[in-house]
Amino acid sequence: MSKSALGRGLGALMGGISSSDKSAASSSALVSPLSPTLVDLRERVEIVPLAKVHPCAFQPRRDFSSETLAELADSIRTQGVLQPLLVRRVGDGYELIAGERRWRAAQLAGLTELPVLVRVADDRKVLELALIENLQRENLNAIEEAAGYAQLIQQFQLKQDEIAARVGKSRASVANALRLLQLPQGLQQQVRGGELSVGHAKVILGLDSAQDQAMVAGRVIRESLSVRQTEEVVAQLHISGSGAKRLPSSKHSPDVHVNALQTRLQEHFGTKVMLRYRKGKGAVEIRFFSDDDLERVMGILGVRID
């Protein structure tokens, strides 16, 4: 089969996946829980000393821009804190559930008191509410979002579909976010800092070797590679085989169509997928890493586990 013919054949396949992805996203879309969960108009706003309000260990957000904090502080000096912070009582003080950015900016602005809404919430609910607020405001970077999901799984034994229902995301979105935590710490930091996009990171996750992942990430940053160019690099590494001394194959060139389809399959299943294709034949290998992960993959395939 010629390369152009292969491209047309896989194009039809990729089109099928794309439409099903859209259908899945549409069917799994949930009404945002932000308003009913975070704001209850029956609650009374209280004014409390700023010194009695403390940050929460369950806050998923770790990166706060000093520039945007300074801008918010200037606004607070002029307008005050327009939206109450959400807190829970802890001892003789208050622990933040939502609003740490406003709390930090209020300190910069020199405020001594803050408007708050007091909510009764256990640790799991605090993490859920903090995730919801940050996700709805698009405040979290991709690694912070993934770490929040991982904490719900590890500390509170929630499954991916339960997390998806609570934060208003599709299960595939949660699974794809969690995959980013499989990257080495150095690459995770590059995603946090915006040096690597999530699209680049997903392609790099197609490589098994941490050494290869770091090498490709370095090329992406140095050469400002697009996601498509990164797919070509990864495809070449797959064809050339493993080992630090690998050389480009003279007999084969990387097939961008196969590699792009493999990336789409990985995004669809939210896990590592290997696609082997040659002259209309091949195999698809879908990895799973726990019984729950297997059950999730089987659910996507429409196969029930009795």
Please state the length of the chain: 306
- Please report the DSSP string for 56-79 in residue order: -TT-------HHHHHHHHHHHHHH
- Determine the Cα–Cα distance for residues 295 and 306; give it in Å rounded to an integer: 10
- Please give the C-alpha separations between residue 32 and each of 35, 41, 86, 290, in angstroms, as whole numbers: 7, 17, 18, 30
From 95, 100, 145, 232, active-site residue: 100
**Of all helices (H) and strands (E), which one includes residue 274?**
strand 273-278
Judge whether 100 counts as a catalytic residue.
Answer: yes
Handedness of CA 124, 155, 208, 221 (dihedral sign): positive
Handedness of CA 92, 62, 115, 124 (dihedral sign): negative
Q: Which two tokens stand for residue 299?
A: 């659910």
Active site residues: 100
